[in-house]
Structure 1
């Protein structure tokens, strides 16, 4: 079930982030150390200023955050993977996005990019960013508005 985020969900969101964030960098040739979301001002602010949706069955298994057509995050707890939850949340965000949807992803995060491509996203830009002080190549992906 997908429902709107509530303040009481924050501990579960932080837990899902902590258990999932470093998976984004699994294909990098560098070692990354987790910077907890609540200690990462840029990413934490991006989250709390977003419209957040959570996916739960008996407990929260995933969350997604967006600001209009800017898709800011999508994290699935390791125990919820392989069940279509990420795909369900992505469709939920796209159903609410108006116009051209954008997202940003680590260039090496091939599993996520394959999912996004299935939804019609294409890479439009490559740029340097960083995570916890370590430089990383990233891609901007865009999905043209339907219609």
Structure 2
């Protein structure tokens, strides 16, 4: 298996739209997934910096962040690739560029993601509400 992290390029858009849709359908079971659309990827990552994980030249994950605030906005891995270290590698590469402190939001109902971030050293600093449900703000110093 040949994995590589690369800067986002236009030819990654369609596979990442598909990945984002599938990953959210699987992870966000408490939401109405019929409301999810391929175009959501474009809206969610507009203006952000994106790194893409490739496996044999096929996108299998991505991380997107907003550099002015050191805010990690999205981290998604293809469901069939979960648990193989892709998310951790993407997050580490992102943090190497973003620096510290960094923050992110994680929906409270997304237990697997919360456990993942806590294992990586992130700490819950506050809670809030969003259209997708209650979330935690996490920070890494």
TM-score by length of 2: 0.86
Structure 1 moving runs of 4+ over 2 Å? 22-26, 30-34, 43-46
Work out the number of aligned pairs and report it: 135
The 3 A distance-change label for structure 1 pair 105 and 24 is farther
8 Å contact 2:18–2:38 — kept in the other structure?
A: no
Q: Which runs of 5+ in 1 are unaligned?
A: none
Asked if 1:90 corresponds to 2:87, the answer is no
Aligned residue in 2 for 1:66: 65
CA shift, 1:46, in A, is: 4.1
Distance 1:24 1:127 in 2: 20
Decide which of 130, 134, 141 is 1:137's aligned counterpart.
134
The 3 A distance-change label for structure 1 pair 127 and 107 is same
Decide which of 18, 28, 34 is 1:15's aligned counterpart.
18
Q: Which runs of 5+ in 2 are unaligned?
A: none
